[in-house]
Structure 1
Amino acid sequence: MKKLLLVLFVLTAFAANSILCRIALKNGHADPQTFSMLRLLGGAGVLFAWHLARGKVKEIRWKIIDAVLLCAYVLFFSLAYVQLNTATGALLLFGAVQVCMIGWGVIKGEKLSGVKACGILIAVGGIVTLLLPGATAPPLFAAITMVASGMAWGAYSVRGKNIKAPAGTTAGNFILGLPVILVWSLIRQAPVQIDASGILLALLSGGLASGVAYVLWYALVATLSSATASTLQLSVPCIAAAGGGLFLGEVPDIRMLICTLVVLAGIAMVIAADRKQREKVKRNDFR
């Protein structure tokens, strides 16, 4: 039950990032670079303060590759959402995550059983059915940028499977990401656009929905197969749709509710198949 609650919190936080970013950019509260910078700053500040309060600053780990991946995900995410609507962006993002994580899992020898493959197809089908009918053809550059964001997050999640200190590593990743975003902003020389609402949205996204949630995700992903971890994230657009109803006045229709059930059914199949596969491995090891 504890693990289930943590998973639900993390996935809800992922959805919150999409909602907070879209609100900030669509309504002109912030430009992409400034939003990304403040998002990383919020995550770095919360995690550094947490380590400082516990007297464990020395536990912060510095993983340059992970920091670059996190920075790429955050920046490309914001840049893409300037032109993409929420549905199209979510489909491109989590489709790319799915391909990256499952592809890497297969390369590393993870077995993709028939039931697990069927569950993945059902979950993806639910997302496509939910998002595509209302989505317009995305601008090519924005679409490529969101796919790049998804691939970066997929790679970040895969590398997280080998992390032994999730809190310290995540804190270091956020801190190291700050100068990367700063240098990018200076190179582009884009005008700074930010107001009080944009600052609040970015800090909430970084401090809570990113910083805290990513620590928990790093801890959880080590216990999941790549297929299960990636398929779980396909529920995020469904959660985001529910959040849109609560915070943006978007009333979910019957199609959204049905598609949500389809996605959850696919996720349940993947998790069940993964658990059965692990139990089989344990029995073979015992013998």
Structure 2
Amino acid sequence: MSPSVIGTTLLAMLAFAGNSVLCRLALSPDSSAIIDPASFSAIRLLSGAVTLLLIVLWRERRLPPMAGSWGGAAALFVYLLGFSYAYVQLDTGVGALILFGVVQLVMLFAALRAGHRLQLAEIAGLMLALVGLLLLLLPGATRPNLPGALLMALAGAGWALYSLAGRDAGAPLLATWGNFMRALPLLGLLLVVPVFLPDQPLRFNTAGVWLALASGSVTSALGYAIWYRALAGLKVTQAGVVQLSVPVLAALGGVWFVGEALSLRLILSGALVLGGIYCVLQVRERRQA
């Protein structure tokens, strides 16, 4: 990979980890911030769309035709909703590990459908990463909440589809802005969700709103535009695997900023996942050498 692709990919991974930390800070039952998942998602989506609109107007000096796609917008909305509701029940690193483990599986399936044939070392690396994910989910005292895990898996599927849609995006910034704008009509659905989840009524305080704004404007809007740029230089398997580095970054962020414990199970899972990433990337680098 070129230095520019490595740099943009690293920035995107830091933004993804930052999203997990900000969301957990806002939605943790022990947090001083008060905001419900629907309000957090709505503010995140709206602030992201406004931020991207302002950047587009500043760069283009006009309002260009909307890029992106309705499929990308729908995938983005599914990801945002599942992500927020899952983090009410999951620790930062655990949620990120489930999220990007599912992303890896979906993107791997897409690569296989496109005709990519895996080498033995790639298969070994993927199996190693999946073992790390399964280790986290095995029954035990520190096993994550099952409904939260399922919601995060749904978010992972949405994010994988959003990433795959980004591979065909011509202009990363315009495509990201277009996807956010197309997702705005779905905001009305967020007002309906609390009706079916009475234990999560609409509520928020200033701290919760600021965290949602930071997530939407910085780590989402800018992070996703950077990610779409990085995708242009990544293979599908690479794009899926590098995102498995996010749980490790998110877990460290959870320890430093949220005060969460770093369990032995999470450490072992993270080590296996990172080992699998290394195996797959080494194969890709040898092919391109």
The question of a shared fold, defined as TM-score above 0.5 by the shorter chain, is answered with: yes
TM-score (norm: length of structure 1): 0.87
Aligned residue number for residue 114 of structure 2: 108
Over 3 Å counting, the alpha-carbon distance change for 1:148 and 1:249 in structure 2 is closer
Structure 1 residue identity aligned to 2:24:
R
Aligned residue number for residue 173 of structure 2: 167
Structure 1 residue identity aligned to 2:73:
A
Does the aligned pair in 2 maintain the 1:75–1:181 contact within 8 Å?
A: no
Unaligned runs of 5+ in 1: 280-287
Aligned residue number for residue 282 of structure 1: none
Please give the secondary structure, in 1, of the residue aligned with 2:253.
Answer: helix
1:267 shift after superposition:
1.6
Q: Find 1:264's aligned residue among 255, 262, 274.
A: 274
Over 3 Å counting, the alpha-carbon distance change for 1:134 and 1:17 in structure 2 is farther
1:227 shift after superposition:
1.6
Unaligned runs of 5+ in 2: none
Please give the secondary structure, in 1, of the residue aligned with 2:281.
Answer: helix
Does the aligned pair in 2 maintain the 1:33–1:181 contact within 8 Å?
A: no
**Residue 227 (structure 1) aligned with residue 229 (structure 2):** no
Structure 2 residue identity aligned to 1:119:
G
Q: Find 2:142's aligned residue among 114, 135, 138.
A: 135
Please give the secondary structure, in 1, of the residue aligned with 2:118.
Answer: coil
Count of matched residue positions in the alignment of Structure 1 and Structure 2: 278
Q: Deviations over 1:174-210 (max 9, x none)?
A: 1221220223314654742111111111111111111
1:230 shift after superposition:
1.0
Does the aligned pair in 2 maintain the 1:37–1:182 contact within 8 Å?
A: no
Does the aligned pair in 1 maintain the 2:5–2:233 contact within 8 Å?
A: no
TM-score (norm: length of structure 2): 0.86
Structure 2 residue identity aligned to 1:83:
Q
Over the matched positions of the two proteins, sequence identity in percent amounts to 36
RMSD across aligned C-alpha pairs, in angstroms? 2.4
Aligned residue number for residue 205 of structure 1: 215
Aligned residue number for residue 27 of structure 2: 25
Runs of 4+ in 1 over 6 A off after TM superposition: none
Does the aligned pair in 2 maintain the 1:71–1:177 contact within 8 Å?
A: yes
Aligned residue number for residue 284 of structure 1: none
1:22 shift after superposition:
1.2
Distance between the aligned counterparts of 1:260 and 1:144, measured in 2? Answer: 20
Does the aligned pair in 2 maintain the 1:39–1:203 contact within 8 Å?
A: yes
Structure 2 residue identity aligned to 1:20:
L
Distance between the aligned counterparts of 2:236 and 2:26, measured in 1? Answer: 32
1:59 shift after superposition:
4.8
Does the aligned pair in 1 maintain the 2:242–2:277 contact within 8 Å?
A: yes
1:218 shift after superposition:
1.1
